[in-house]
Amino acid sequence: AQSVTQLDSHVSVSEGTPVLLRCNYSSSYSPSLFWYVQHPNKGLQLLLKYTSAATLVKGINGFEAEFKKSETSFHLTKPSAHMSDAAEYFCVVRDLNTGGFKTIFGAGTRLFVKA
């Protein structure tokens, strides 16, 4: 079965410092992976997705993620945090055992950004 694990429930960084949000996946197929962001009291917005075209994926707002098959990881990074990055982040895998009709969300990582 496919699954996704976000290794940190909370991450706190200072403004201007790098961000690392960790995600590990389990998949018997070549995975379909996504990162979404949810700002307080808002819906979810796609940050980036892994399409197997490139292992380093660039997303919106300066975020990027690197797919590492050997480590079964898809960690999200940003070189310099901004106050507006404070939000909940979800790593998501598409469950191809169900024909791609089901997505599995990680438990989420809350990012705090200190001034």
Partner 1 sequence: DTAVSQTPKYLVTQMGNDKSIKCEQNLGHDTMYWYKQDSKKFLKIMFSYNNKELIINETVPNRFSPKSPDKAHLNLHINSLELGDSAVYFCASSQVNTGHNNEQFFGPGTRLTVL
Which parts of this chain interact with partner 1 (CB under 8 A)? 32, 34, 36, 38, 42-46, 49-52, 88, 90, 94, 96, 98-105, 107-108, 110
Cβ closer to partner 1: 68 or 79? 68
Cβ closer to partner 1: 101 or 115? 101
The least CB distance from residue 73 to partner 1, in Å, is: 18
- Using CA atoms, how far apart are residues 88 and 102, in angstroms rounded to an integer? 21
Angle formed at CA 22 by CA 110 and CA 51, multiple of 5 degrees? 110
Contact 25, 3 (CB under 8 A): yes
